[in-house]
Structure 1
């Protein structure tokens, strides 16, 4: 990047504006010396830091960076033996230390937040965020120098009232009071008043004196310090006041000597930290410059540019350059946003159109944006804007005519273009304004095409403006070139400053000349000189422009239709969510009723078991148990039927919604996905733990058939069967409805079609009474690694703990933790009593202090 290019694009002016956002003078000086970088990694780092800083400003979480006075001149003296600083210089170091420690504290808070929410942080804390935190955290620790300075100087920059200075200051105060008392005695003496020119004390050379009339000289003994110009007044210091003033001078000298000693010792204590101060200053200035760019970007509604991909594979649709709603930063409100896109297969953009249409501003905006991007600063444009990192930016913009060097306009352009061609590489950006102008149009067009040929061979990114019609045709005949134009309102004969990609523009020279006052006869005469071929080209351009506008309208209509479709899809999704919520509510209601039923049944069962254990097994008790079992089956069946009706109602409502929006097949598939599976088939989860005593009078009902492995019984309650293709062994419980049975497989009960069941052949009909245990701990449910009981009532917590122990035992979990909190210890005691009584618990103990202490218990299962 040569200085001429930076000056033409007004980069120094914009750099000075951004430097005004620095917090320190040293940061501002550093930023004013910055030039765009050609190192992609350096640019990527600067933009990553700035992007996080800008995001922090907009979310009130930006780094804490305060201003500090210049300290760079003090650092070379800091390491010298015997060096000293005055109070103001130490105050500057104090402010700098506070700034560094503030940045370090901000970084520590960010990392603490990330560590306390580690899972979420790993997903949300971006590389850029971590990079900025690490950069701030890498600042040297200046807390010790800060404490040393604060021990001597307070935060307002004043020397503290140290014990070694207090006595001296008190002595000085007493001497001043004595001097004032002595002087006041002279002034208040009625005999001396006629001798004095003034009744107020006067200061001369820092001493209090009397203004004595010259004709009374000798009446008061003392030292004359000064005589007025008229000679009528003597400024006399009385002898007794002289002694006290001398004492004052002595004490003040003593005080200054003591202060110098204290400051010298402070400088000596800070000397070992000279290297830390220097390193911290460099890093703080760097962060100040990053923050200045982010603050400027926030004030001007900017966004950081993205990097283009490498143009291979899936990245073919990512443009080399994309400027979206780009505004020239120096034009302020007068800037008209422009859109400019250069696709991956294109390396050259040829912009044509009328004068005053904005062609040159477009070139300057694109080039200045490239400089901003390579300085690590945001762009006044909308997201997503894309810019690569160029190793060289060359421009030929403006009139380079020079009388001193005997250069014509054309000569100046050729000199610049020659230098550009020597420096151009595949990573270069070249801007050529009014290429081929300043000479014969035919020869100028030929030279322009030859220059573009050379730049195409170099594979540089090229932006060109021109009025030559031959270059418009050049853009169509080369696949690497793209034509564009600045829009022009045919009705008002004024530019709109919009960029039309893919369409060349007319110069409208005659129309513009007529609008600016050129005689109509001259305009008409000029029109007669225009060749018919030129008119055909103009008509072609007008036709292309109309087609382009029609395409824009079509694109806008398409976007509007897409938006309407997205809104309809959103409403459909919302209705589906409402249906799912209703389904969940119905399930919760059904579960609540079942839990109540099972709790009552469990109580009844426990009473029956207790009666059986306490007495003999009589026929009356057996009949009572069977009666209870029959009643329980009836209640459970009624609840299941009620739940099925509610579920079918939800399915019907969902089916209606699906049919309305043409999604019936998808919704039917989603609604049939609930339930557990056995042998690859769907089924229901079991109920909450309930023990049921069942006595089988016989192994089979009357009637059976003969199979290869023995007698094959008919389907009836208690018959063992194989389920599905995997031959999972289960027992028939009862017939659910025609063609299906409820079977029990281990701890799981489910309904299976009769076609999927095969009776197990048996050789002997005898069976003994068995006890079946059915539980809600289905195969889809897993124990928690950490059971949280906070906020639960006692009964609710004990049920949750009981369920956790059952799940852990079934699933083979060796251990888990229980978070019960501390509080008054009620829940903690209940948990420990339940764990001590459980046969599956091997041991339990409180967690370590850093893991929760007595508010958390670790459980190990046997």
Structure 2
């Protein structure tokens, strides 16, 4: 990758944004070193690492990286015999703490959450826990870098003596400044310090009153800072104690530095592992901030981007686009007027490629595909060079010549306004020739141009497709929506007309243009309209397909549950049957044994009544099975009660409750179960209840005798205020219809509509109780309301 291309595509700005999400200077160092890889295996590993960190953030919301410092220089100095400062030692202890926290965090997550995190587990597996060393440093030094009394017994004793001596000095000096003469001879009644010795401020004219040593004087010379003779010895003692304190602190720091040196290799290795981990989470946090997803990587030159958004544009301004390249066609020629967004599209493709090959996720929808290229070449922007006396055209050609020397089948080439800056005919011819050359090399190409001659290029070359950026004639502004398969048109006549140019001038201009050009423009306009309609219909079809898939899954789940229940019932029935047969077999054997005994004892003189009695006992030994009563009961209930539309029934085979909608034929009913409607045999239905008949009221007659109130109210897509009005009206209608229970479908969505509807239902006068629907009824997307 050429540095010039990285600069043109603004990869440096991506790295600056990435740095904002780093937890330490270590990750920032990795960002500075970041460079796109040309190896698919390495890119896949980098992408997997980013995705692992993203998984951790999704499940836990954070990663414990606080306190991590780059202490490699501290360790290096300790290893050559240097004594580390308290701040350097506390940074080392803080890094040991961060390493320990991260190791425990990942290990616990893998164990408790059962999440597969191979790269993170490998990194933390190489971290050495040095808890004793960490605690030793923190016992000796506080977070502000001050050596604590607890660092050693000697230091504790020295500081106790120091505090005692300081108290004596201050007490002596305070007695002096409180004396009756002090007010006249002192400039101020305070004790201060000069040259590490306690002094008092004495007026110049009374310098001989206290004797002792003069350590300083004020800027005017009117005040002298004198150490009175009476405290000189105490100050001398205090200084000696301070020297001992300093020596003891140096000894403690040397001892701690030696400990760091002893474990230096392990500490440095911990830092390197934490550097990789911090960088992983830096990429993950950046991906989250730009709403990016992990692309599937390949080395076949295939790019598929769904709703791709340029990461450097403001979120409220950027337009998402679908971009496909490398399968049906290997080159895209984007035509159309300037300022339409062609260059942004070009940069988006190039920048996404650099990001993906650097292990960064791209701001596009899940399922996007990116390719690994050996090189990305770009000729973008106005590169007029005053220093080299080159025109815009010449400067572009110098760049293009260099690209043609290097390009091959493993390259991605981006041309912006190819052939611009010279005679239109010559420029268009040159652009076509350059594109042919790059295509023959097998490279992937995306080029923008405003030459109309290149519109035909996409139709005359295999593997090339036209594209354009949509322009809204009504607003006279580009929509920045990429239309692949539709060449661009100038829109000059439409824009001029909207701006107020006279119709006769426009018509005269049209007459000067060849008829075939007008036909092409009409064809392009038709293509644009057709593509818009196709996109709308495609989105609608996608929505319907997703809903159908969800319904299919729910039905499959219900069928599986039904089959499992049926199998369990069969197994239970077989077990009971086997038990009955075994009991009967044993009973028969017992009877036979008794017959044989009778025959033996009575020498075959068995009386008739004894044989008849034995025969009866054998007959009773035949197993008798209890017949299933569910369907029998259902038949009895249904026979006793003629089923009607609106009746609440139970579907025996599914063990689900529903309402009868209408009778299909003599033996089948259409049944509403939650959001599902299905045909069910009448013998598989069990009558439960019937809505109470509604008394004739004037209010009800307004709607007419044939008015039908549905058993469900669908609020999906409604605004909050309209939804509540519909709920209120619907509940009144349901009460008038005498329904004991109704379903209100609010969908899942963001949950705002669902929450609002349920809050309203809690306080409604007609609501007895409510619950979310079962899986078969629509789950959390439906509230089942029982009416009073």
Q: What SS class does the counterpart of residue 59 from structure 1 fall into?
A: helix
Deviation track 1:362-384 (CA, whole Å, cap 9, x = no partner) reads 00111111111111111111111
* 1-structure distance, mates of 2:104, 2:617: 69
Deviation of the 1:285 alpha carbon: 1.6
Contact preservation (8 Å) 1:107, 1:137: no
Q: What SS class does the counterpart of residue 380 from structure 1 fall into?
A: coil
Deviation track 1:695-750 (CA, whole Å, cap 9, x = no partner) reads xxxxxxxxxxxxxxxxxxxxxxxxxxxxxxxxxxxxxxxxxxxxxxxxxxxxxxxx
Report the CA distance shift for 1:575/1:181 in structure 2 as closer, same or farther (over 3 A).
Answer: closer
Q: 1:544 aligns with which of 524, 527, 530?
A: 527
Q: 1:94 maps to which residue?
A: 93
Q: 2:2 maps to which residue?
A: 2
Deviation of the 1:617 alpha carbon: 8.8
* 1-structure distance, mates of 2:612, 2:210: 133
Report the CA distance shift for 1:617/1:24 in structure 2 as closer, same or farther (over 3 A).
Answer: farther
Deviation of the 1:463 alpha carbon: 0.6
Deviation of the 1:62 alpha carbon: 5.7
Q: 2:280 maps to which residue?
A: 290
Q: 1:416 maps to which residue?
A: 399
Report the CA distance shift for 1:415/1:524 in structure 2 as closer, same or farther (over 3 A).
Answer: farther
Contact preservation (8 Å) 1:401, 1:409: yes
Q: 2:242 aligns with which of 242, 252, 255?
A: 252
* 2-structure distance, mates of 1:195, 1:257: 39
Give 1:772-791 correspondences, 5 Å limit: none
Q: What SS class does the counterpart of residue 197 from structure 1 fall into?
A: coil
Q: 2:703 maps to which residue?
A: none
Q: Which moved more, 1:452-461 or 1:134-143?
A: 134-143
Report the CA distance shift for 1:652/1:241 in structure 2 as closer, same or farther (over 3 A).
Answer: closer
Deviation of the 1:475 alpha carbon: 1.0
* 2-structure distance, mates of 1:609, 1:193: 133
Q: 2:123 maps to which residue?
A: 135
Aligned residues: 642
Q: 1:397 maps to which residue?
A: 380
Q: 2:302 maps to which residue?
A: 320
Q: 2:389 maps to which residue?
A: 406
2:408 paired with 1:425: yes
Q: 1:639 maps to which residue?
A: 626
Q: 1:719 maps to which residue?
A: none
Report the CA distance shift for 1:232/1:492 in structure 2 as closer, same or farther (over 3 A).
Answer: closer
Deviation of the 1:138 alpha carbon: 2.2
Q: What SS class does the counterpart of residue 637 from structure 1 fall into?
A: coil
* 2-structure distance, mates of 1:294, 1:112: 22
Contact preservation (8 Å) 1:67, 1:99: yes
Report the CA distance shift for 1:647/1:163 in structure 2 as closer, same or farther (over 3 A).
Answer: farther
* 1-structure distance, mates of 2:196, 2:557: 86
2:36 paired with 1:36: yes
Deviation of the 1:248 alpha carbon: 0.9
Q: 1:357 aligns with which of 333, 340, 353?
A: 340
Contact preservation (8 Å) 1:110, 1:133: no
Report the CA distance shift for 1:398/1:595 in structure 2 as closer, same or farther (over 3 A).
Answer: same
2:513 paired with 1:530: yes
* 2-structure distance, mates of 1:568, 1:485: 39
* 1-structure distance, mates of 2:173, 2:556: 95
* 2-structure distance, mates of 1:624, 1:25: 103
Q: 2:435 aligns with which of 446, 452, 456?
A: 452
Q: 2:677 maps to which residue?
A: none
Give 1:467-546 correspondences, 5 Å limit: 467-512=450-495, 526-546=509-529
Contact preservation (8 Å) 1:397, 1:432: yes
* 2-structure distance, mates of 1:553, 1:645: 53
Deviation of the 1:489 alpha carbon: 2.5
Contact preservation (8 Å) 2:588, 2:621: no
* 2-structure distance, mates of 1:278, 1:517: 73
Deviation of the 1:31 alpha carbon: 0.9
Deviation of the 1:511 alpha carbon: 3.9
Deviation of the 1:57 alpha carbon: 0.7
Report the CA distance shift for 1:652/1:49 in structure 2 as closer, same or farther (over 3 A).
Answer: closer
Q: 1:699 maps to which residue?
A: none
Q: What SS class does the counterpart of residue 465 from structure 2 fall into?
A: strand
Q: 1:465 maps to which residue?
A: 448
Deviation of the 1:413 alpha carbon: 1.1
Contact preservation (8 Å) 1:27, 1:288: yes
Report the CA distance shift for 1:197/1:553 in structure 2 as closer, same or farther (over 3 A).
Answer: closer
Deviation track 1:317-371 (CA, whole Å, cap 9, x = no partner) reads xx81111111111112211111111142421111112322211110011111111
Q: 1:701 maps to which residue?
A: none
* 2-structure distance, mates of 1:300, 1:270: 41
Q: Which moved more, 1:598-607 or 1:291-300?
A: 598-607
Q: What SS class does the counterpart of residue 382 from structure 1 fall into?
A: coil
Give 1:645-684 correspondences, 5 Å limit: none
Q: 1:169 maps to which residue?
A: 159
Contact preservation (8 Å) 1:352, 1:507: no
2:305 paired with 1:305: no
* 1-structure distance, mates of 2:226, 2:295: 77
Contact preservation (8 Å) 1:586, 1:646: no
Report the CA distance shift for 1:199/1:517 in structure 2 as closer, same or farther (over 3 A).
Answer: farther
* 1-structure distance, mates of 2:593, 2:206: 129
Q: 2:694 maps to which residue?
A: none
Q: 1:216 aligns with which of 206, 216, 219?
A: 206
* 2-structure distance, mates of 1:616, 1:85: 111
Give 1:553-572 correspondences, 5 Å limit: 553-556=536-539, 558-559=541-542, 562-563=545-546, 565-566=548-549, 569-570=552-553, 572=555
Deviation of the 1:556 alpha carbon: 4.3
Report the CA distance shift for 1:652/1:576 in structure 2 as closer, same or farther (over 3 A).
Answer: closer
* 2-structure distance, mates of 1:85, 1:578: 69
Give 1:66-215 correspondences, 5 Å limit: 66-81=66-81, 83-113=82-112, 126=116, 129-143=117-131, 145-154=133-142, 157-160=145-148, 161=150, 162-215=152-205
Contact preservation (8 Å) 1:98, 1:146: yes
2:359 paired with 1:376: yes
Q: 2:730 maps to which residue?
A: none
Contact preservation (8 Å) 1:326, 1:339: yes
Deviation of the 1:146 alpha carbon: 2.4
* 2-structure distance, mates of 1:478, 1:657: 62
Deviation track 1:168-205 (CA, whole Å, cap 9, x = no partner) reads 11110110111111112212223444332322212222
TM-score normalised to structure 1 length: 0.67
Contact preservation (8 Å) 1:53, 1:294: yes
Report the CA distance shift for 1:14/1:553 in structure 2 as closer, same or farther (over 3 A).
Answer: closer
* 2-structure distance, mates of 1:449, 1:264: 74
Larger radius of gyration: 1
Report the CA distance shift for 1:234/1:67 in structure 2 as closer, same or farther (over 3 A).
Answer: closer
Q: 1:329 maps to which residue?
A: 311
* 2-structure distance, mates of 1:76, 1:560: 61
TM-score normalised to structure 2 length: 0.73
Contact preservation (8 Å) 1:579, 1:650: no
2:369 paired with 1:386: yes
Deviation of the 1:37 alpha carbon: 2.1
Contact preservation (8 Å) 1:209, 1:235: yes
Report the CA distance shift for 1:647/1:98 in structure 2 as closer, same or farther (over 3 A).
Answer: farther
Deviation of the 1:155 alpha carbon: 5.8
Report the CA distance shift for 1:165/1:376 in structure 2 as closer, same or farther (over 3 A).
Answer: same
Contact preservation (8 Å) 2:336, 2:490: yes
Q: 1:819 maps to which residue?
A: none
Ranges in structure 2 where 5+ consecutive residues have no aligned partner: 636-650, 657-666, 673-679, 682-788
Higher RCO, 1 or 2 (CA under 8 Å, sep at least 6)?
A: 2
Q: 2:695 maps to which residue?
A: none
Deviation of the 1:295 alpha carbon: 0.4
Deviation of the 1:39 alpha carbon: 2.4
CA RMSD of superposed structures (Å) = 4.2
2:212 paired with 1:225: no
Report the CA distance shift for 1:602/1:163 in structure 2 as closer, same or farther (over 3 A).
Answer: farther
